[in-house]
Amino acid sequence: MIFEKMSFKEYKELDAINYSTLKYMAESPLAYIHNKDNPRPETPALYIGRAVHKRVLEPDGFNSEFAIFEGERRAGPDWKAFLSSHANKTILKMAEMDEVVDMTFAVTKSKWYAEFFKDGRPEVAFTWMDKETGLTCKGRADMLLGKALVGLKTARSVIPREFQSDGARMLYHLQWGMYEEGLLANGVEIEKVVEVAVRKKAPHDVAVFSIGEHTLTVGRNIFHSLLQRVSECRMTDAWPGVAPEPVDFHLPAWADSSDMTTITMDGEEVEL
């Protein structure tokens, strides 16, 4: 099912498996079920990234989801009164808003804005049932532009090797493969996947990454593997940690030497 113009709050309330939680299954079923049952509070990095999304993709709706507190301290009567008058909104400090404005400016003034963000369908939510497991999944595409799935991410670095390394560690390819499959299940054909990344710190450089078929295939395979594990754990009601059985301990290469004459303990070299 496709949901146009669905708010982030409404999307969060959809009862379905999403990328942000499923990725913990790659660590262990225990990590998955813990994060599912105990969602982490949204960090400044996450809500600043969400604010950039809103300013770039749906600027007219920014004030309905965010408010800017101009006070010095998040305490006292002024802060309490501000909270009361902006219930159900994410509150940004002025310094945080400055970051949002700077990153938004970098994206909208880049040559990529007209190509990927000026037209299209922003923040499209969707749900689907996985045929193999019967589990319901959900996703929220940053932008659907014809047959292109376009993402927008705030990044530590947009230097290709660093963004690729960070993306692999955070399983971005799981998200791309999962979303492509979910959209296809809803009759939306995707021929191109693109991720636009903006550097969080100045200079707010912007880079575009084309996601190839090999990366998408790896992401889809991970998606199905993790979803199958969720299904199996649900059926058995068992959620093991990373090492359900004893693990042989192996010394790392740097410590595996029979001719070592010294070792470092508490920052000091000790002779053997």
* pLDDT 10s digits, 181-205: 999 999 999 999 999 999 999 999 9
Measure the CA–CA gap between 37 and 186, rounded to whole angstroms: 28
For residue 264, pLDDT over 90 is answered with no
Range of lowest pLDDT (119-123, 148-152, 258-262): 258-262
The fold adopted by the segment(s) 2-242 is Lambda Exonuclease; Chain A (3.90.320)
Candidates 103, 90, 76; CA nearest to 158 is 103
Residue 77: pLDDT band by 50, 70, 90 thresholds? Answer: confident
Q: Tell me what pLDDT residue 215 has.
A: 98
Per-residue model confidence as pLDDT tens digits over 27-66: 999 999 999 999 888 899 999 999 999 999 999 999 999 9
Mean pLDDT of 92-108: 96
Residue 24 DSSP code: G
- Are the C-beta atoms of residues 223 and 231 closer than 8 Å to each other? no
Q: Determine how β-strand 136-145 pairs with β-strand 148-155.
A: antiparallel
**Percentage above 90 pLDDT, the chain:** 81
Mean pLDDT of the chain: 93
User: Where exactly are the structural domains of the chain?
Assistant: 2-242
Token digits of residue 68? 């800017």
Residue 261: pLDDT band by 50, 70, 90 thresholds? Answer: low
Residue 266: pLDDT band by 50, 70, 90 thresholds? Answer: low
- CA-to-CA dists, residue 96 to 45, 85, 127, angstroms: 10, 20, 32
> Strands (DSSP E) along 4-135, which ranges?
66-69, 90-93, 121-129
Q: Tell me what pLDDT residue 272 has.
A: 62
Q: Tell me what pLDDT residue 146 has.
A: 94
H helix intervals, 94-246: 94-108, 112-116, 160-169, 172-185, 213-236
Mean pLDDT of 81-97: 90
Q: Tell me what pLDDT residue 259 has.
A: 61
3-state secondary structure of 142: strand
